[in-house]
Structure 1
Amino acid sequence: MSATALPATYDESRGWEPCSDRSLERDDPLAGTGGFGARWLLIEIDGAWGTHALFQSRLDPELGRALARRAEGEGIRPVAIRKFGRRADARRTQTSWRWALADARPGRESIRWGSVEDPAELLHVPLDGSAGIPSSEPALLVCTHARHDQCCAVRGRPVAQALAAAYPDATWESSHLGGDRFAATMIVLPYGLYYGRVPAAQAAEIVESYRHGEVVERYYRGRSSLTNVVQAAQSFARSHTGDLRIDAFTPLSEERIEGGWAVELEHGDDVLTVRVHEQMSAPLLSTCAATIPNAVREFAPDTITRRARL
């Protein structure tokens, strides 16, 4: 896969070497790279974000830390969100703080929305899914977190803009989602579908495929509630069978074996056993800010076998 041209905002004279361009040139595999998040707490924070969005924003830093500790203590991943174009709107007074609790665990997928007038009230939002209004619409989160990584802003904002034009109510800019080298990155909640290298012109395809119960494999990184090993095994199974349904390959087991893993996936009336192994990449700079190359783990398929489900 060859690198695509950078937008006009890229100034080569400044010496910036986009990590996403380097990743494209290496053709880093996407399979099995989705970050983990079984449950998610989304907090609307208008205006600019610093490196740590909950601590460096218009939200009081101590309140932000308390919110993060509370969520993470319950195994919930907190993320800042804002509507497209609200980044530079620092003068706007935020009078309502929307929040959402999304459950991405298979069989429990749900998202509930609420709002508070005082951000301190966010500390009292129940995290057990008992509050808020349930929604059947997805939340489309696109990472545009410039202070965390330049590529997220340069690549992410055009995608957020395109999605906001087509799906204004569902689209949000988000803080760090992980996988900066795969920018533009996005996640579709509540199913936790991670995507990378999303072109603005094809972003709507991801949403329409979701509405039809399918993933777009060429941009798909994996499901956030599953381990990276299972994410990779599902990707290899999709490539092997051509079945793109979101729920097509239910994980039954994940076993460490000599030389890798054996993952059993339910597929209709059958069980697929996908054997995968881990390999380390050549040392690379995985973010724009990285200065020391490090190897990252990648997954490759060994065998895929099918048997009838007992």
Structure 2
Amino acid sequence: MGPVGTQPGRADDASADPVEGMTADFCRTDVPARPVGRLDGSRCSVRALARGDSPVATASPVQRWLLIEQPGPWGRDALPESRFDAEVAPRLARRAREEGVRPLLVRRPGDRLADSARRWAYADSRPGREGLWWSVRASDADLLTAPWDGSVGEPAPGPTYLVCTHGGHDACCALRGRPLARALPAPGPVDVWECSHLGGDRFAANVLVLPHGFYYGQVPGDGAELVDAHRNGRVALPWLRGRAGVPAPGQAAQHFARGELGLLGIDDLPVVSVEQHTPPGSEVERWTVTLAAPEGHLVTSVESRPSTTADLLTCRATHAAHSRTWHVQFAAVPSRGSP
């Protein structure tokens, strides 16, 4: 089997968390505005690049988001540890958990201390329902009763780029994310936002492209190639982590097949089925993943196993852990006219 990439171990992969900010906590405004330090050999993203870690198959399972404009500092748990209403935060987190929606705080690049226009948006990446709709709240409490279904707000005309800059969670996110957020050449000023924790800190700079839910990691330079790809309805394969909501083995199979077949359209190679052949949580896990290709069904064999060595996978990690490596091969190649 040919290797596709690596993903964090289960205990270290924050992108697997369904929603952020679910714990009740107090609202802090005394958290530092900027992380202390610099990108050196101790940083998780520097170590991951040196090891050659791949971000493939690490996109979140969540397919719906609540974007809340909130300038100013964010603590480690962004929603309750920000200037968002302290009484509203736990109630909003509870509603988000119950409805399967992930809250993300957002702010304009470089506008950390600017007054907020109190924007918020609902985003949906489920196939056939894709969209992102912006509204303005009079108070934070409005979000407790606002519909999260796309029935209110102005639709975003094109892709929206969220760049993780959450230094309160991991310094690498801020040190790599903030320069990218300022430089990303998106068409308009409201198309790029800094955002709170996306997961996969060691893959900073991390970007989520909505509404279709594509996660990217280790995005270099100013991200121009990523923006150009999505402007033309394609994915930027070299930095693609995966698509939200697609099971991890499906993400790995899609990535491998996209590279082999040159199918880069955002809706190319949807997953038809995922069949697991080993008990969940096995040291080595195996699946058969079937994708819908232009000439018929493409069947792949997917395997995930621990990395050979254990490493510190985040800047805050206190113990080494094994990542998961992904390996994919074609089990059956469709021919013209196959079902």
Confirm or deny a common fold (TM above 0.5): yes
Q: Which stretch of structure 1 is more off in the superposition, 256-265 or 217-226? A: 256-265
What residue in structure 2 maps to residue 131 of structure 1? 152
1:220 deviation in Å? 0.5
Letter in 2 for 1:39: R
The answer as to 2:183 corresponding to 1:158 is no
Kindly provide the CA deviation profile for residues 101-160 of structure 1, in whole angstroms up to 9, marking residues without a partner as x: 111112221111111121111111111222222223221000000010000000001110
Report the CA distance between 1:274 and its aligned residue.
1.2
CA distance in 1: counterparts of 2:67 and 2:39, whole angstroms: 33
Q: In structure 1, give the amino acid aligned to 2:58.
A: T
User: 2:83 maps to which residue?
Assistant: 58
Question: What pairs with 1:224-243 in structure 2 (closer than 5 Å)?
Answer: 224-243=244-263
**Counterpart position of 1:246:** 266
How much is the aligned-residue C-alpha RMSD, in angstroms? 1.7
Contact 1:156 1:185 in 2 (8 A): yes
| Aligned counterpart, 2:55 | 30
Alignment of 1:162-181 (within 5 A): 162-163=183-184, 167-181=188-202
TM-score of the superposition, structure 1-length normalised?
Answer: 0.90
Moved more, 192-201 or 180-189: 192-201
Q: Is the 8 A contact 1:166 1:204 kept in 2?
A: no
> Matches of 1:309 and 1:264 in 2, distance apart?
14
Q: Map Cα deviations across residues 150-191 of structure 1 (whole Å, 9 max, x no partner).
A: 000000011101026764220000000000000000010001
Alpha carbons 1:237, 1:304 under 8 Å: kept:
no
Secondary structure in structure 2 of the residue aligned to 1:58: coil
Any stretches of 5+ residues in structure 2 without a counterpart? 1-36, 279-284
Among candidates 186, 209, 215, match of residue 194 of structure 1:
215
Deviates most, 96-105 or 156-165 = 156-165
Instruction: Give the corresponding residue for 2:12.
Output: none
1: CA distance between counterparts of 2:145 and 2:259? 45
Q: Which AA in structure 1 matches 2:155?
A: P
Counterpart selection for 1:148 from 143, 146, 169: 169
Partner of 2:9: none
> How far did residue 246 of structure 1 move?
1.2
Distance 1:97 1:38 in 2: 23
Q: Which has the higher contact order (CA 8 A, sep 6+)?
A: 2
Residues 250-304 of structure 1, C-alpha deviations (whole Å, 9 max, x = no match) = 1110101255111111111311111110111221111101010011222111334
- Aligned partner of 1:78 in structure 2 is 103
2:237 to 208, 214, 217: 217
Q: How many residues align?
A: 294
How big is the shift at 1:215?
0.8
Distance 1:114 1:269 in 2: 42
Task: Give runs of ≥4 in structure 1 deviating > 6 Å.
Answer: none
Higher share of residues assigned helix: 1
Q: Distance in 2 between matches of 1:100 and 1:11?
A: 33
The whole-number CA distance in structure 2 between the counterparts of 1:270 and 1:253 is 14
Partners of 1:82 and 1:164 in 2: CA distance: 17
1:137 alignment partner, SS class? coil
Counterpart of 2:289 in structure 1 is 263
Name the stretch that deviates more: 225-234 or 254-263.
254-263
CA drift at 1:200: 2.8
Tell me which moved more, 73-82 or 16-25.
16-25
Consecutive unaligned residues in structure 1, runs of 5 or more: 1-8
Confirm or deny: 8 A CA contact 1:84 1:164 kept in the other structure.
no
Note if contact 2:288-2:299 (Cα within 8 Å) is conserved in structure 1: yes
Q: Is the 8 A contact 1:113 1:135 kept in 2?
A: yes
Match of 1:118 in 2: 139
Could you say which residue in structure 1 is the equivalent of 2:311? 284
TM-score norm. by structure 2 comes to 0.83
Paired residue secondary structure (2:127): coil
